[in-house]
C-alpha cells in the first residue's frame, strides 16, 4: 500500500514555509499568497515573489526551524510502522529542501521518495530551484502526478494520500483514500467533490488507525 503525503501542516503542526515567511519577510507576502489561493497565479510564480522578500541567512533559518517546527504526534510511530510493514511512503511538497530535510532526516529510511524544490542561500538572499518532472499548471510538485507515479510503481495496490491544503487538491481523484487534516481546505474540497473516499485526522495515531496500521 503506497502512501503519498504532503509535508507542511500535514506531517507538521504548523506550515513551516508560512512561519518562515512570517518571521523573515515583510507582511506583504500575504497579498501574494492570496493571489495564489484565488488561483490567479501558479504556486511557483507566487513563491518566487514571496521568497524574494525574505531576508535571512541559512543559519538563521536553520535555527528557527529547529526551535519552531514540530512533527505531528504519532509521526515517528507512523514512519516506524510503515518501515516495519514495508509500506512505501512518498513525501511530496511545494516547500523546500532546507527545512524539509532536517525535519525528515531521522525518518529517511522509511521514505521511498522525497519530492520538493530547492532553496540556495546567498548571504541573506534565497534563490529557488523548482523541481521538474512533476509539474502541473498550478504546482511544481503536483500531488496528483505524484500519486500517479507511486501507483505506477505499485500497480494494483490501494493508494492513500495525506494532505491539508490548497496545493493538495490535485490529489483528489488520484487516491483510493484521502486522509485530510480535520478542518482543512482539503477536507472541505473532498466533501464538496462527493466521489472521493476520505476521512479526517488530527494526529498520526488516527492516521494509523484509519489506514489499518494501528
60/128 with CB nearer Mg ion:
128
| Four-CA torsion 126, 34, 192, 142, nearest 10 degrees | -20
Contacts to Mg ion from residues 142-171, by CB under 5 A? 164-165
Of 19, 46, 15, 18, nearest to 33 by C-alpha is: 46
Give 81 or 139: the residue with its C-beta nearer to Mg ion.
Answer: 139
- Residue 205 C-beta-side C-alpha neighbours within 13 Å: 2
**8 touching Mg ion, by CB under 5 A:** yes
Count of alpha carbons within 13 Å of 90, Cβ hemisphere only?
Answer: 24
Between CA 109 and CA 78 the distance in angstroms is 13
One residue of 4, 9, 78, 175 binding Mg ion per CB under 5 A: 9
For residue 57, the minimal CB distance to Mg ion (Å) is 25
Residue 206 sits in the site that holds Mg ion (CB under 5 A) = no
Kindly state the smallest distance separating residue 158's Cβ from Mg ion, in Å.
22
Q: Does 6 bind Mg ion (CB under 5 A)?
A: yes
Between 84 and 101, name the residue whose CB sits nearer to Mg ion.
Answer: 101
What would you report as the CA-atom Rg of the chain, rounded to the nearest whole angstrom? 17
- Min dist CB 115 to Mg ion, Å, is 14
Helix (H) or strand (E) holding 151: helix 143-153
Q: How many residues bind Mg ion (CB under 5 A)?
A: 6
Task: Using CB under 5 A, list all residues that contact Mg ion.
Answer: 6, 8-10, 164-165
Amino acid at each position: 500500500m503506497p502512501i503519498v503525503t504532503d509535508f507542511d501542516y500535514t506531517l507538521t503542526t504548523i506550515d513551516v514555509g508560512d512561519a518562515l515567511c512570517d518571521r523573515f519577510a515583510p507582511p506583504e507576502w500575504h497579498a501574494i499568497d492570496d493571489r495564489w489561493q484565488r488561483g490567479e497565479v501558479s504556486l511557483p510564480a507566487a513563491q518566487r515573489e514571496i521568497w524574494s522578500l525574505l531576508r535571512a541567512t541559512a543559519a538563521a533559518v536553520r535555527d528557527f526551524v529547529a526551535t519552531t517546527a514540530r512533527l505531528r504526534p504519532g509521526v515517528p510511530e507512523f514512519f516506524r510502522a510503515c518501515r516495519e510493514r514495508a509500506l512505501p511512503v512518498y513525501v511530496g511538497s511545494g516547500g523546500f529542501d532546507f527545512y524539509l530535510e532536517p525535519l525528515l532526516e531521522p525518518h529517511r529510511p522509511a521514505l521511498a521518495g522525497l519530492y520538493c524544490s530547492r532553496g540556495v542561500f546567498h548571504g541573506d538572499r534565497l534563490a529557488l530551484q523548482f523541481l521538474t518532472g512533476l509539474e502541473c499548471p498550478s504546482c511544481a510538485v503536483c500531488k496528483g502526478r505524484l500519486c500517479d507515479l507511486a501507483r505506477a510503481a505499485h500497480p494494483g495496490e490501494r493508494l492513500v494520500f495525506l494532505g491539508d491544503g490548497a496545493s493538495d487538491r490535485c490529489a483528489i481523484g488520484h487516491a483510493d483514500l484521502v486522509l485530510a487534516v480535520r478542518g482543512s481546505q482539503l477536507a472541505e474540497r473532498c466533501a464538496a467533490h462527493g466521489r472521493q473516499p476520505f476521512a479526517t485526522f488530527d494526529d498520526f495515531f488516527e492516521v494509523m488507525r484509519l489506514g489499518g496500521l494501528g
